[in-house]
Structure 1
Amino acid sequence: MLKEIVNNNGISKLFTKFMFIKFIAILFTILFSLSSVHSKEEISVKLEKVIDGDTVYLLDNNKKKYKVRLHAIDTPEKGQIYFLRAKEALFKLISNKSLTLEKINYDKYGRVVGIIYADNENVNYQMIQHGHAWCYRKYNRNPKFIEAEENAKSKKIGLWSLKEKNVAPWEWRKKSAK
């Protein structure tokens, strides 16, 4: 049986094929990883208007307008408690600052889903950290966002300081749609 596996050079044909396939798989993994890293698009932008606590209009240097939904966060909807405070908090974090938009993808409404950096600080994270937003776990892949939300809750800051029961925006939208 050993003779069937080993060729004349003492190297298994099966082993050689296996190594070739493994090499190709590793090569594709590396190429895919590199393309993902370079596919991130970051652009310098200016604030045009804050719509709510997680949606803004931004302008690039060519005056192209972007409607942006902040990635991995969710803030109270119009009609919910804390709506205006979340909107004002976002305005304070990004007005009169050097802004960068990291485009992640587009949502079903055609908005850019992204991360906004104000003076190199992650605004999405800051909104959660200061208790102005929920970590939107459905889309979040960053454990620091969850940790920031837990810290804000435990310190009872921002929307977590309210005596009224907080209803997560995604739950509120479901109830409002009925």
Structure 2
Amino acid sequence: MTRKWLGSALFVCSMLLTYKASAFDAKVVGIKDGDTIVVFDGTSSTTIRLAAIDAPEKSQAFGEAAKKAMSSICFGKMATVNPINTDRYSRTVADVFCAGKNAGEWMVYNGFAWVYDRYVSGHIQYYGAQKIAREQRKGLWQDNNPIAPWDFRVK
């Protein structure tokens, strides 16, 4: 009996760990910074942290430019949000598509965000986008010594 119960409990736990919320469409009603937006689905607002990227902090070089870039691609537009998980601040971490473009990959490709190595799982194509941005000295890569946001936050 105990084995049966343990097996059932493990199955339920594995289902909870692998659960992924369904994609949804929502209007982008706010841009907090280059990697965080607010969407409204007609019922409620949700703060979304874009998966696998880290944009410069507002007080950091290119921070305001990153926020403006995110605004240019997403603000006021309908977005498809594909939730992945939640972060330690209870924000939904998701892939976001605005006007048919992967907003996270677009931000990296145009030099407004880094690939966030620590959380890149499943987004390895972002490295190719970052390589192009770096080679073409786009956005933050114009700086001779750009500081990654995770290093900037430590200072």
Shorter-normalised TM-score: what interval? 0.7 to 0.9
AA matched with 1:95? F
**CA distance in structure 1 between the partners assigned to 2:29 and 2:77 by the alignment:** 12
1:101 equivalent in structure 2: 81
1:134 is matched with 114
Matches within 5 A, 1:28-177: 39-62=20-43, 64-141=44-121, 142-163=123-144, 165-175=145-155
Larger RCO, structure (CA 8 Å, separation 6 or more): 2
Tell me the secondary structure at the aligned position of residue 23 of structure 2: strand
SS in 2 for 1:86: helix
Structure with bigger helix share is: 1
Gaps of 5+ in 2: 1-10
TM-score, normalized by length of structure 1?
0.73
Q: Which has the larger radius of gyration?
A: 1
3-state SS in 2 of match to 1:109 = coil
Query: Could you tell me how far 1:115 is from its partner in structure 2?
Result: 1.1
Distance 2:100 2:76 in 1: 13
Q: CA RMSD in A?
A: 2.0
Secondary structure (helix, strand or coil) at the match of 2:95 reads strand
Gaps in structure 1 of 5+ consecutive residues: 1-27
Identity %: 32
How big is the shift at 1:161?
Answer: 1.3
Conserved 8 A contact 2:20-2:83 = no
**Is contact 1:116-1:123 (8 Å) kept?**
yes
